Amino acid sequence: MILDTFKGNEDCLFLNVFTMKLPKGEYNPQLPVMVWMHGGGYSFGSGNTFLYGPDYLVAENVVLVTLNYRLGPLGFLTAGPDAPGNQGLKDQILALKWVRDHIADFGGNPNQVTIFGESAGGSSVQMLLLSPLAKGLFHRAISESGSALNPWAMSESSMTRAYRLAANLGYVGANDTEEILEFLRRVPAMKLVEAAPTTLTEEDFRNNVGLPFVPVVEGYWNKPGEQPIYYEAPLITESPEEMYNQHKFHKNIPYMTGYNTHEGMFFIRRLRKNPQLLDIIEKDFTRLVPRDLNVTDDRERVTREIRQFYLGNKQVGIESVDEMIALLTDLMFVHGIRRTVRNHAKYGNMPVYMYRFAFDGALGLYKRMLGLQRPGVCHGDELGYLFKFGFFNLSLDPKSMEVLVKNRMVRMWTNFAKYGNPTPQHLNDDLLNTTWSPVDPNGVMESLSFMDITTNLQMKNNPELERQQFWDYMYEHYNGNAM
């Protein structure tokens, strides 16, 4: 779908296991296990080696598991207790149960499982950190460029989209949930997937960048004072914000998360295809006010404040693309990731490691896929430094900076899977010449330490400080809390 084509198969629930060492006789390697959750806006993607070649990671003596989960309406349609939603995330949980029960047969240690993912996969990881259904199935977690607190990561909980999907596919019966679900079950899977974007409304594009089927809070159909109805165990029954406010998450999991410097560059492709979007944003800048900011009566004033901070006196247009990239980077990714870091560091019991990936090199995955020539590190670019992707036939000098950055990334990610620490002191590793310090849990509003990953490794404080202070002020002022 990233290249405007739909490919796939309804029979998709497979996982792949990559290992360098199998048990034999009395030999039982018990290697750390890394389970990858792919991204793709909960709408497209897979765990195959086309993008996620295992070569770099398994060379560091870990077992890598990549998996598929149901996507789009097949994975995230919701229509009350008969179709509660979140099936794609429940597929991930089922895969983790399989890993628990069988990974020892592939040389893996079921008691040393790290889940990691990017974009929607990173948000998935965080959802599993919140869900009671996933408790005990993993022991470390990494979210790359994705948070359940990002505006695209959750949907308003209602049956409306299922009804709209059915109508757009030709349903003309009564407004009855059972009849609608029965109709949708008879529709071929590919037609369901192709019709999913037709359910989007203008409000969807204002709120969540136009992802039609994403996770929901289950139980929205229950009425106050009545016995709750659940036909299967729910993933979550409160929003991530509510759960963090109550400190309800898996607190004993070391956590690593971060982002790329120019995440918002990903949206340039949409502007290329729809240049009128710049004009639409110029005329309706209010659409960029976060929906979780309590500004009902001050919306126009807040719009002016955001616009002035990022654009100054510029119009929304070609001359302000860099400013728009910074704004979209913060709105769609960094602010939610920063809130996640603060909550896990302050209220959790284990270290939290934050990073910013700032190396703009030849292995930048999404920039190459999308043909982007602008400087900066796009959403998804770090993936080329963790996975070997087969369709770019690059021949790199072993002494190149790309190879050095790749080696460092792979080492830090696999160290975290092995030790719960990306730069453990006992290794005396010349490749990693900087100690990655966790975030201080006692000062998360004043100081967020992070590893800046570029041509060098360098510990810094408070990424994008002025932008961070702006959003902290906005949320403190209008919501009473920037956590």
> Which residue in this structure is represented by tokens 């960048």?
209
Beta bridge partners of 67: 15
What is the C-alpha to C-alpha distance for residues 77 and 47, in angstroms, rounded to an integer?
Answer: 21
Half-sphere exposure of 331 (CA within 13 A, CB side): 24
List, as one string, the DSSP characters of 447-458: --EEEEESSSEE
CA distance 464 to 284: 26
The four Cα atoms 358, 364, 370, 375 give a dihedral, to 10 degrees, of 40
Strand partners of residue 17: 65
Q: Which of 139, 262, 335, 379 is catalytic?
A: 379
Give the C-alpha separation, 90 to 35, whole Å. Answer: 15
Active-site position among 60, 144, 218, 263: 263
User: What is the rounded CA–CA span in Å between residue 95 and residue 65?
Assistant: 9
Place of tokens 């806006």: 41
The total number of residues shown for the chain amounts to: 483
User: Is 102 one of the catalytic residues?
Assistant: no
Any idea what DSSP says for residue 103? Answer: G
Taking the C-alpha atoms of residue 426 and residue 171, their distance in angstroms, rounded to an integer, is 64
Active site residue 379: yes
Whether 263 is catalytic is yes
Cβ atoms of 51 and 383 closer than 8 Å? yes
How far is it, in rounded angstroms, from Cα 469 to Cα 160? 37
Residues ≥6 apart with Cβ < 8 Å to 116? 34, 35, 36, 37, 125, 141, 142, 143, 144, 413
Which two three-digit tokens encode residue 158?
């209602």
Q: Which of 43, 46, 119, 143 is catalytic?
A: 119
Structure tokens at 467: 């932008």
Residue numbers annotated as active site: 119, 263, 379
